[in-house]
Amino acid sequence: MIEISKIIVAILILLGAFLSLVTTFGLLRLPDVYTRNHAASKAATLGIMSIMLGTFIYFYMEHGHFNSRVLLGILFVFFTAPVSGHLISRAAYNSGVKLWDKSVRDDLKKARENSKSTR
């Protein structure tokens, strides 16, 4: 295995682990569901994608094994993690979870009232 690819893999994996820790701090410290979802669905996705890219490069460089399933996994996580974040956030709003009490704007509420009045 070439030395520089080892360094690249190590950097990618440490970056992914750091982003995973950032996700957890976001989930523990942010005040309401929507901000927590904002933290979880972005940082976790990027961290896991970089860890999987590091794994792919490791097996390609060490064993010469081109594993297409890891690439498919990267693509799949990249496509579906924001979608599931959107779905769960919309479900939280529709099932009546309150915003943080210091938040100042709720544009979705206004838009819903407008669509109800025009209907």
Partner 1 sequence: MFQIIIAIALVCISLSMLGLIYRVIKGPSIPDRVIALDALGINLIAVIALVSIFLDTYAFLEVILLLGILAFIGTVAMAKYLEKGVIIEHDRNK
Token pair listed for 100: 């943080």
CB of 87 to partner 1, least distance (A): 4
CB of 119 to partner 1, least distance (A): 19
* End-to-end Cα separation, the chain, in angstroms: 65
Residue closer to partner 1, measured from CB, 94 or 114? 94
Residue closer to partner 1, measured from CB, 97 or 108? 97
CB of 81 to partner 1, least distance (A): 7
CB of 51 to partner 1, least distance (A): 5
Asked whether the beta carbons of 52 and 90 are under 8 A apart, the reply is no
Q: C-alpha dihedral over 11, 14, 15, 20, to 10 degrees?
A: 160
Token pair listed for 96: 């009546």
Of 27, 24, 75, 82, nearest in space to 53 by CA: 75
Asked whether the beta carbons of 50 and 64 are under 8 A apart, the reply is no
Residues that bind partner 1 (CB under 8 A): 6, 9-10, 13-14, 16-18, 20-21, 23-25, 27-28, 33, 36-37, 40-41, 44-45, 47-48, 51-52, 54-55, 58-59, 62-63, 65, 67, 69-70, 72-73, 76-77, 80-81, 83-85, 87-92, 94-95, 97
